[in-house]
Structure 1
Amino acid sequence: MSETGPGATADREVVISRVIDAPRELVFEAFTEVRHLSRWWGPEGFSTTTRSFEFLAGGVWDFVMHGPDGTDYQEWITWTEIVPPERITLLHGEHRDDPNAFASILAFAPDGAATRIEMRTIFPTKQLRDEAVEKYHAVEGGRQTLNNLAAYVTELVRKGAEG
């Protein structure tokens, strides 16, 4: 019997959400251009170098994340669905056709004048999810990434108010 419906992927998921004090369109836009992404993407202490970037369904972001300890991580994201300004769905691995790639769904919902972003990541197996959480600190890294996003777009809002 195959599992379907709510909870069918719960043991393979990581879900992180955060309210960001910025309009939904701006939070969404922070994902659409590499000039934005390179300013906030990744956990604390990480930076990125982009090799190619095309933000459209079927497009690819090929980049390297540089860890604070000097380790380079090859990364490959294929955007699978883009519904501005509500949702972005992507497949994230180390390279094209990575069998261990995971899917992420980013949902952007208005929360008053702010935006609630939910990042739902679904791994191919429970083992890969557990490894990502335990070895790569996926939950804390995801929280730090959303905190970096929040700080970045909040600064854009502040600068816009000054301008």
Structure 2
Amino acid sequence: MAGARQEARAESATADREIVISRVIDAPRELVFEAFTEVRHLSRWWGPEGFTTTTRSFEFREGGEWVFVLHGPDGTDYSEWIRWVRIAPPERIELLHGESRDDPNAFESVLAFTPDGAATRIVMRTVFPTKEQRDEAVEKYHAVEGGQQTLSNLAAYVTDLAREGAEG
């Protein structure tokens, strides 16, 4: 019980710095989780609508990194970097995400994968270093819509994979 109270206090302490996005995906948890573990999957769905991804390097392990470029629909390239902080297959991934390894504005994200019948509920909780950085991400970069679109792309991708697996 004390753990739940501490967790609730920790969440309220970061509420003004966080974005939480969730979605139920019609695919098994293991498959949804796998979509994060292999670059061949990530490059097919990562990013908001109209964006594509080019991976420079990828190592999915605790302490490993994913260095990539997001290509916007307007031709703008965004350098991105992720370090996988903690991986607990198939239920949780913790990561640090910024523009580069030494980005002082890098933010933390926790992805939780929970069975929901035959489907999977994914909850993406992102905590920014400051409220101002969170607000800028929401207002200038449309982080909420972008996150929802990214999870929508993931849902479409793994739903197709699940269907192909059932047919194959």
Classify the TM-score, shorter chain: over 0.9
SS at match of 2:10: coil
Deviation string, structure 1 residues 106-134 (Cα, Å, up to 9, x no partner): 00000000000000000000000000000
Aligned residues: 160
The answer to whether structure 1 residue 104 and structure 2 residue 105 are counterparts is no
Percent identity among equivalent residues?
81
The answer to whether structure 1 residue 85 and structure 2 residue 90 are counterparts is yes
**Cα separation, 2, equivalents of 1:49 and 1:150:** 20
Cα deviation, residue 63, structure 1: 0.3
Structure 1 stretches of 4+ with a deviation exceeding 4 A read: none
Cα deviation, residue 78, structure 1: 0.3
RMSD: 0.6
Aligned equivalent of 2:147: 142
The gaps in structure 1 that reach 5 residues or longer are none
Deviation string, structure 1 residues 72-114 (Cα, Å, up to 9, x no partner): 0000000000000000000000000210000000000000000
Deviation string, structure 1 residues 14-65 (Cα, Å, up to 9, x no partner): 0000000000000000000000000000000000000000000000000000
TM-score (norm 2): 0.94
Matches within 5 A, 1:116-127: 116-127=121-132
Cα deviation, residue 162, structure 1: 1.4
**Cα separation, 1, equivalents of 2:11 and 2:21:** 17
Specify which of 126, 133, 136 is matched with residue 131 of structure 1.
136
**Cα separation, 2, equivalents of 1:119 and 1:6:** 14
Matches within 5 A, 1:11-50: 11-50=16-55
The answer to whether structure 1 residue 60 and structure 2 residue 70 are counterparts is no
**Cα separation, 1, equivalents of 2:73 and 2:124:** 24
| Structure with the larger helix share | 2
Q: 2:34 is aligned with what amino acid?
A: E
Q: 2:86 is aligned with what amino acid?
A: E
SS at match of 1:85: coil
The gaps in structure 2 that reach 5 residues or longer are 1-8
Aligned equivalent of 2:3: none
Cα deviation, residue 161, structure 1: 1.5
Q: 2:31 is aligned with what amino acid?
A: L
